């Protein structure tokens, strides 16, 4: 990729670059985290954590080893070209950050990190516990230099415990977090989500934990370490499940397209004319309104039985069915499923979604990436945002605001950084290295 | 006195219900905030009657999920449908002056009560007001009512789960409900920081479809840039091979193994005793291993099937091979690592017995969150909230109780 040669920059320009939000935004609003600087030493999906802070306005400096981060090898790639400057994975999770290179394995590199850490409010990292500390730049050492700093560590198994130095990829965290065992068909092994999300799930918790600690640091001046375990973050996706062995003795297993509470088990996914839909088929306070609307639709299409038309759906909650006992409960549920399957097979995803919104039926389409790109609700909320990629000669549409903040809306200020893109800006302009020192550190491989 | 916690002194009026909302305000309750949960008997939160129950006994106070989502919160029992209910809330806002009001109804509910953001702002100009609903405020499908199994479907998670030769299956649970809270609370704290420096409150509008999409961002860019519609791949990976879930000794026991480099492949070979089949030079690179994935998986399965999953996991990890046991709910409670980290917590339940709770989602080294008060009955703290926090008199409270505005279970 063509990359602009770093040009000598004056201090005044640097100051503008330090706080890009102020000079590029159309309005004068100050973003919530605008005064805070984050050093991001995480890799992979853990990159989402500092991206959340960057979206909220923080000046996030993504620190990569010289030559580029291994995260840049993560697919998918722009036009399927596996080039380190074309990873869409990198683009997505490093948007709104600046980027510098720094060699942690060199003494000069570590000294630069120490200097950067004295001027930072937050460090986020995902190295194996003990690695940074062994190099003299872990939490114990950096917090000596900067006691008010928040130091967030996000790793597969957290900072303590017998597995803390074990490694993972997505499927390992998905397994040890309990999600894997519960997903898939009974006649095949448990199955993961085909796109890896467990690191991003832990990253979101790392953002939340960092925000908690930052609030505390703002109010008290006291910094601390935040310990996030991907295993525990994934475990938090299963919250309905862990109490079963203690409270009921029931052994939950994966149920494919079905879902349930012990033996109260119903089919959640059905084919429709052009794909699949997900439907909640329970009454009671959670679903009676929906079941009534569904029966009305069944009636219109000649599929409603007298029994369904007369049923008191308020008394058809999972708890009510539980009290009926297994055989009777399942008999009741299967009758509803049978006609529901026929109804849904007659309609398209969009027809079903429209009907769901109009009549308050608890049913929704199973979308894919193409459906999402066309979804009217996302378009109406102006969800997709264009980001300029001059090096690629065009713009890319990104998922937009994480949340809508009325007073301080999230904006995309810059695409993900190129390798070493902000080296000169940060090292010379902000850290105050002389041009001689800077080129020396480049030649020795510290930068 | 206990160490200062991050949100000591923070006042939250919590209209959240079901899972996604209460799990968001739970962070604040774990870390020191006073969170007053508005709760009801006549219009019960559906998770109040969701199994499993304490002692397998159904009951409005006995559902695990209600307790889990509302740890440490104060319970204020109000029947909002009774005349006087809405007025009471307005009075609490005026006198108690909460920092944060949060709700996760469909957009019309708070508006119908006259308690939407513009209305509450009249009572407290710098209020931070957090809303979360399935598809966000505004737009043609904003009124859509749903639960996590629906937003997860829309966000593409079920389309992505399963095998290439079959239709989608469920990725367990109400996934989107659990993907939104961490982002929601981050936005809430950001708004607190903004208010601290500027004095300005604001409205936070979270869509439970849009947040989960961010975890899949690279896949969505893949469609925008390359036109590719990502599909189901079973347990295979775009890059790594071998990458799968292999049978182990016992009924429905498995081990996930993921080889992420050529060095790790060599380590796995050594662990397997470097059998002749694995020495094939075609397998030396990831593309080569991908090409022969069926064969390699079959061979590995032959090796794992007589091994104990937990033992093999530790053995492989100690050799530098990434492996993990797909743990069941029974496994979680005696998992050696989770145990050492004191992950599960147990609280005395007011109706007798012990309620298990999931632990903290992150651990702050100096001001860790606490899980110390079981949430069960509607209205446990009504008197405290109305008298001590909102400054109401005994007579008024008695009148409202008699009029059915206040509720207890």
Is residue A18 less than 8 Å (CB to CB) from chain B? no
**Residue A261: what pLDDT?**
82
Query: Closest chain A residue to B42 measured between Cα atoms?
Result: A285
Q: What is the pLDDT of residue A10?
A: 31
Query: Distances in Å between the alpha carbon of B13 and those of A208, B43, B76, B390?
Result: 20, 18, 10, 12
Q: Is the pLDDT of residue B3 over 80?
A: no
Distance CA B129, CA B117 (A): 6
Q: Count CA atoms closer than 13 A to A223's CA, side-chain side.
A: 21
**A250 close to A244: Cβ distance less than 8 angstroms:** yes
Instruction: Say if the Cβ atoms of A286 and B46 lie within 8 Å.
Output: yes
* Sign for the pseudo-dihedral over CA of A125, A130, A134, A137: positive
Any CB–CB contact under 8 A between A148 and chain B?
no
Give the integer Cα–Cα distance in Å for A304 and A329: 19
Question: Residues A227-278: pLDDT tens digits?
Answer: 999 999 999 999 888 888 889 888 889 999 999 888 889 999 999 999 999 9
For A360, other C-beta atoms within 10 Å of its C-beta total 17
Q: Given a cut of 90, is residue B36 above it in pLDDT? A: yes
How buried is A443 (Cβ within 10 angstroms: 0-12 exposed, 13-18 middle, 19+ buried)?
exposed
Query: What is the rounded distance in angstroms from the CA atom of residue B206 to the CA atom of residue B186?
Result: 12
Q: Kindly give, in sequence order, each residue whose CB lies less than 8 Å from that of residue B174, ignoring residues fewer than 6 positions away.
A: A240, B19, B147, B148, B149, B152
Per-residue model confidence (pLDDT) at position A19: 38
- Which residues on chain A are in Cβ contact (under 8 Å) with B267? none
- Map residue A35 onto helix, strand or coil: coil
A238 φ/ψ angles, rounded to the nearest 5 degrees: -105, 20
pLDDT at B93 over 50: yes
Contact A209 B239 (CB under 8 A): no
Question: Which among A242, A256, A279, A323 is the top mutation candidate for probing chain B, defined by the most B β-carbons within 10 Å of its own β-carbon?
Answer: A242
> For residues B80, B69, B99 and A205, what is the CA-based torsion angle, rounded to 10 degrees?
-150
Check: CB of residue B328 under 8 Å from CB of residue A251. yes
Q: Which residues of B touch A237 (CB under 8 A)?
A: 172-173, 175, 178-179
What whole-number distance in Å separates Cα of residue B61 and Cα of residue B377? Answer: 5
Interface of A with B in 84-113 (CB under 8 A): 88-89, 91-93
| Secondary element (H or E) of residue B55 | none
The alpha carbon of residue B132 and the mean position of all alpha carbons in its chain are separated, in whole angstroms, by 14
Q: What is the pLDDT of residues A141-176, one digit of tens each?
A: 999 999 999 999 999 999 999 999 999 999 999 999
ipTM: 0.98
Query: Which of B270, B265, B299 is CA-nearest to residue B283?
Result: B265
Number of C-alpha atoms within 13 angstroms, CB side, residue A107? 0
Per-residue confidence (pLDDT) for residue A21, from 0 to 100? 39
Instruction: Supply φ then ψ for residue A103, to 5 degrees.
Output: -95, 105
pLDDT (mean) for A383-390: 98
CA end-to-end distance (rounded Å), chain A: 20
Which pair of tokens denotes residue B21? 């909302």
pLDDT tens string A25-40: 444 568 999 999 999 9
Q: What is the signed CA dihedral for B206, A387, B232, A251, rounded to 10 degrees? A: -30
**pLDDT tens per residue, range B249-301:** 999 999 999 999 999 999 999 999 999 999 999 999 999 999 999 999 999 99
* In chain A, residues 314-373 whose CB comes closer than 8 Å to chain B: 317-319, 322-323, 353, 356-357, 360, 362-373
Mean pLDDT for the stretch of residues A306-321: 94
Q: Give the one of A164, A191, A286 whose C-beta lies nearest to B169's C-beta.
A: A191
Q: What is the mean pLDDT of residues B345-361?
A: 95
Interface of A with B in 366-405 (CB under 8 A): 366-373, 375-378, 380-381, 383, 396-405
Tell which residue, A190, A177, A185, A256, has the closest CA to residue B254: A190
In angstroms, the separation between the Cα of residue B43 and the nearest Cα of chain A is 8
Distance of alpha carbon B24 from alpha carbon B128, whole angstroms: 14
Cβ within 8 Å, pair B365-A75: no
- The mean per-residue pLDDT over the stretch B380-407 comes to 97
Residue with tokens 């470097």: B274
pLDDT digits (tens, 9 = 90+) for A33-69: 999 999 999 999 999 999 999 999 999 999 999 999 9
- From A312's Cα to the closest Cα of chain B, the distance in A is 17
Question: Cβ–Cβ of A212/B138 closer than 8 Å?
Answer: no
Q: Is the pLDDT of residue A2 over 50?
A: no
Give the residue ranges of DSSP H helices in B161-292.
175-179, 181-198, 210-215, 217-226, 262-271, 286-291
Q: Look up the pTM and report it.
A: 0.95
Q: Touching check for A282 and chain B: CB below 8 Å?
A: no
Tell me if A189 and B235 make a contact (CB, 8 A cut-off): yes
**What's the pLDDT score for residue A23?**
37
**pLDDT tens digits, residue range B135-186?**
999 999 999 989 999 999 999 999 999 999 999 999 998 999 999 999 999 9
Rounded to whole angstroms, the Cα distance separating A434 from B72 reads 54
Q: Which residues of A touch B228 (CB under 8 A)?
A: 76, 369
CB-CB neighbors (< 8 A) of B189 in chain A: 208, 211-212, 214-215
Contact assignment for A404 to B189 by CB distance below 8 Å: no
Q: What does the pLDDT average to over A220-226?
A: 97
Is residue B401 classed exposed, middle or buried when 0-12, 13-18 and 19+ CB atoms within 10 A define those classes?
middle
In this structure, what are the phi and psi dihedrals at residue A256, rounded to the nearest 5 degrees?
A: 60, -110
Nearest CA in chain A to B51: A261
Could A290 and B56 be called an inter-chain contact, meaning their C-beta atoms sit closer than 8 Å? no
Helix pair B262-271, B309-318: axis angle to 10 deg: 130
Cβ separation of B52 and A35 shorter than 8 Å? no
Q: Is the pLDDT of residue A8 over 80?
A: no
Q: What is the pLDDT of residues B292-325, one digit of tens each?
A: 999 999 999 999 999 999 999 999 999 999 999 9
Nearest CA in chain B to A175: B326
The residue count of chain B comes to: 409
Chain A residues in contact with B341 (beta carbon < 8 A)? 158, 160-161, 229, 232
Q: Grade residue A18 by pLDDT with cuts at 50, 70 and 90.
A: very low
In chain B, which residues have their Cβ closer than 8 Å to the Cβ of A121? none
User: Which chain A residues are within 8 Å of B204, Cβ to Cβ?
Assistant: 403-406
d(Cα A180, Cα A65) in Å, to the nearest integer?
33
Contact B230 A368 (CB under 8 A): yes
**Pairing relation of β-strands B354-357 and B345-348?**
antiparallel
Q: DSSP characters for B176-194? A: HHHHSHHHHHHHHHHHHHH
pLDDT, position A24:
43
Give yes or no for a contact between B183 and B211, defined as CB atoms under 8 angstroms apart. yes
**Contact B49/A285, CB-based, under 8 Å?**
yes
Cα separation, A214 vs A218, in Å, equals 6
Please check the confidence at residue A5 and state whether its pLDDT lies above 60: no
Q: Which two tokens stand for residue B82?
A: 């009774």
The alpha carbon of residue A9 is apart from the nearest alpha carbon of chain B, in Å, by 31
The B322-324 sheet, strands edge to edge: B243-247, B254-258, B322-324
Tokens for B258, please give them: 């993921």
Mutate to test the interface with B, among A36, A161, A194 (most CBs of B within 10 A): A194
Q: Determine the length of chain A.
A: 447
Tell me if A237 and B172 make a contact (CB, 8 A cut-off): yes
Cβ within 8 Å, pair A235-B332: yes
* Per-residue model confidence as pLDDT tens digits over B184-214: 999 999 999 999 999 999 999 999 999 999 9
Mutate to test the interface with B, among A217, A237, A239, A279 (most CBs of B within 10 A): A239
Distances (CA, A) of B9 to A182, B97, B98: 40, 12, 10
Q: What is the pLDDT of residue A6?
A: 34
Closest Cα of chain A to B147: distance in Å?
8
Mean pLDDT, chain A, rounded, equals 93
Q: Note the helical H segments in B262-308.
A: 262-271, 286-291, 293-304
SS3 label, residue A289: helix
Please compute the mean of the pLDDT values over residues A413-430 and round it to a whole number. Answer: 97
């Amino acid at each position: 990729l063509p990359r602009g040669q770093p040009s000598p920059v004056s201090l005044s320009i640097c100051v503008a670059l330090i706080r890009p939000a102020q000079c590029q935004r159309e309005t004068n609003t100050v973003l919530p985290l605008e005064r805070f600087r984050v050093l991001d030493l995480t890799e992979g999906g853990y990159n989402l954590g500092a991206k959340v802070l960057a979206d909220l306005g923080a000046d996030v400096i993504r620190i990569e080893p010289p030559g580029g981060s291994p995260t840049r090898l993560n697919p998918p790639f722009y036009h399927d070209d596996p080039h380190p400057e074309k990873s869409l994975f990198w683009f997505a999770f490093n948007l709104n950050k600046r980027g510098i290179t720094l060699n942690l394995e060199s003494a000069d590199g570590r000294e630069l990190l120490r200097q950067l850490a004295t001027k930072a409010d937050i460090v986020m990292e995902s190295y194996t516990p003990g690695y940074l500390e062994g190099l003299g730049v872990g939490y114990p050492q950096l917090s000596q230099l900067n006691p008010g700093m928040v130091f967030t560590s996000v790793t597969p198994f957290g900072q303590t415990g017998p597995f803390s130095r074990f490694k993972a990829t997505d499927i390992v965290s998905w397994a040890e977090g309990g999600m894997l065992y519960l997903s898939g068909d009974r006649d095949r092994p448990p199955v993961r989500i085909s796109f890896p999300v467990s690191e991003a799930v832990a990253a979101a918790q790392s953002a939340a934990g960092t925000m908690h600690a930052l609030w505390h640091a703002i109010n008290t001046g006291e910094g601390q370490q935040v310990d996030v375990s991907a295993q525990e973050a994934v475990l938090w996706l299963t919250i309905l499940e862990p109490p079963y062995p203690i409270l009921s003795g029931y052994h939950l297993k994966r149920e494919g397209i079905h879902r349930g509470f012990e033996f109260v088990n119903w089919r959640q996914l059905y084919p429709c004319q052009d794909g699949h839909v997900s439907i909640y088929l329970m009454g009671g306070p959670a679903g009676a309104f929906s079941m009534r609307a569904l029966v009305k639709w069944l009636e219109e299409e000649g599929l409603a039985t007298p029994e369904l038309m007369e049923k008191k759906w308020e008394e058809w909650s999972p708890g009510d069915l539980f009290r009926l006992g297994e055989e009777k409960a399942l008999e009741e549920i299967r009758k509803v499923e049978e006609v529901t399957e026929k109804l849904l097979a007659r309609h398209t995803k969009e027809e079903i979604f429209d009907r769901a919104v109009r009549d308050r039926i608890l049913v929704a389409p199973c979308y894919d990436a193409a459906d999402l790109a066309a979804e009217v609700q996302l378009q109406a909320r102006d969800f997709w945002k264009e980001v300029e990629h001059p090096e690629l000669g065009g713009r890319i549409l990104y998922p937009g605001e994480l949340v809508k903040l009325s007073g301080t809306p999230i904006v995309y200020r810059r695409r993900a950084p190129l390798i070493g893109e902000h080296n000169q800006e940060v090292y010379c302009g902000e850290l105050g290295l002389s041009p001689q020192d800077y080129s020396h550190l480049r030649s020795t491989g510290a930068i | 006195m206990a160490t200062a916690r991050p949100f000591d002194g923070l006042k939250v009026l919590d209209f959240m219900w079901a899972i996604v909302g209460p799990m968001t305000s739970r962070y604040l309750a774990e870390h020191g905030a006073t969170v007053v949960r508005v709760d009801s008997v006549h219009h019960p939160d559906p998770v109040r009657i969701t199994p499993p129950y304490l002692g397998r006994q159904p009951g409005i106070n006995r559902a695990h999920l209600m307790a889990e989502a509302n740890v440490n919160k104060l319970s204020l029992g109000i029947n909002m449908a009774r005349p006087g209910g809405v007025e009471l809330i307005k009075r609490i806002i005026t006198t108690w002056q909460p920092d944060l009001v949060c709700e996760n109804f469909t957009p019309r509910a708070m508006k119908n009560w006259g308690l939407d953001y513009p209305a509450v702002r009249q009572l407290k100009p710098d209020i931070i007001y957090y809303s979360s609903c399935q598809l966000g405020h505004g737009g043609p499908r904003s009124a859509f009512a749903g639960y996590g199994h629906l937003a997860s479907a829309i966000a593409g998670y079920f389309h992505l789960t399963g095998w290439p030769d079959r239709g989608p299956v469920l990725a367990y649970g109400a996934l989107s409900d659990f993907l939104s809270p961490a982002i929601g609370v981050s936005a809430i704290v950001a708004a607190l920081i903004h208010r601290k420096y500027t004095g300005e409150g604001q409205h936070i509008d979270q869509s439970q479809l849009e947040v989960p999409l961010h975890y899949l961002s690279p896949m969505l860019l893949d469609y925008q840039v390359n036109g590719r519609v990502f599909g189901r791949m079973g347990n295979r990976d775009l890059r790594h091979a071998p990458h799968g879930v292999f049978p182990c000794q016992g009924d429905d026991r498995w081990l996930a193994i993921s080889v992420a480099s050529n060095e790790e492949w060599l380590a796995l070979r050594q662990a397997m005793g470097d059998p002749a089949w694995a020495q094939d030079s075609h397998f030396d690179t990831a593309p080569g291993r991908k090409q022969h994935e069926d064969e390699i998986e079959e061979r590995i399965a032959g090796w794992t099937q007589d091994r104990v999953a937990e033992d093999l996991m530790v053995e492989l990890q100690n050799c530098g091979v990434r492996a993990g046991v797909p743990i069941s709910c029974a496994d979680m409670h005696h998992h050696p690592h989770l145990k050492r980290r004191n992950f599960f917590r147990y609280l005395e339940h007011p109706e007798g017995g012990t309620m298990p709770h999931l632990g903290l989602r992150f651990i702050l080294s100096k001001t860790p969150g606490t899980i110390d008060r079981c949430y069960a009955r509607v209205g446990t703290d009504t008197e405290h909230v109305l008298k001590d926090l909102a400054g109401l008199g005994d007579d008024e409270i008695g009148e409202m109780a008699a009029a059915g505005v206040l509720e207890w279970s």
